[in-house]
Amino acid sequence: MKNKLTLRDITYSALLTAIICVLGYIIIPIPFSPVAITGQSLAVMLAGCLLTPLQAGISMISFLFLGCVGIPVFSGGRAGIGILVGQSGGYYIGYLIGAVLISILARKSDSFLWRLAACFIGGIVIVHFLGAAWLGFVTNVGIKKSFIFGSLPFIPGDLLKAVIAVAISSKINKGLRRN
């Protein structure tokens, strides 16, 4: 079996890349945390639920590439390679790994709960683990403190985003199967 990249793969990947870029402008700063609430984690979960692992990977790599070359797509309109090596870098790398993992897991069942579990594992556990670990390394405060300030406050909102992502993707997938 050849693993060719099709026009459909590129189109779907580009669409979710655009969505994650747009949702980066939805931010809510948290006074006690160096990390802000952003809509991008919702897009990561949507990418995982809607796209194949290849498409999800292309989408996230495209997003990271755009941000690294200076297009203001990171949260709050930030850009540059410095963002990936700064305090938020681990979260962005987590987006790539998380979206692909969600896609792999979500393909195993159409069940709402299964897809929610996939979003929890890939979109919350992976993203927050990598994000907090990198934040702790960069700020030299350790993973426990970085988890308390850089991840814990965001988990309830991310759980809500996971439910929203699964609900939206379920409707879209049903509509696509009909056509």
Q: How far is CA 146 from the centre of its chain?
A: 19
Res 21: pLDDT: 98
- Residues 86-138 have pLDDT tens digits of 999 999 999 999 999 999 999 999 899 999 999 999 999 999 999 999 999 99
Q: Packing angle between helix 155-178 and helix 40-50, nearest 10 degrees? A: 40
* pLDDT exceeds cutoff 90 at 29: no
Average predicted confidence (pLDDT) for the chain: 93
* pLDDT exceeds cutoff 90 at 32: no
Instruction: Tell me the C-alpha distance between 64 and 151, whole Å.
Output: 21
What's the burial of 45, exposed, middle or buried (CB within 10 Å: 0-12/13-18/19+)?
buried
Res 178: pLDDT: 54
Token digits for 105? 């897991």
CATH of 10-23+34-171, one of 1.10.1760.20, 3.20.20.10, 1.10.3720.10, 3.30.70.980: 1.10.1760.20
- Residues 168-177 have pLDDT tens digits of 999 998 877 6
Nearest to 168 by CA among 112, 129, 126, 125: 112
- Residues 56-94 have pLDDT tens digits of 999 999 999 999 999 999 999 999 999 999 999 999 999
Res 33: pLDDT: 72
The confidence band for 165, taking pLDDT boundaries of 50, 70 and 90, is very high
Domain positions in the chain:
10-23+34-171
Q: What is the CA radius of gyration of the chain?
A: 16
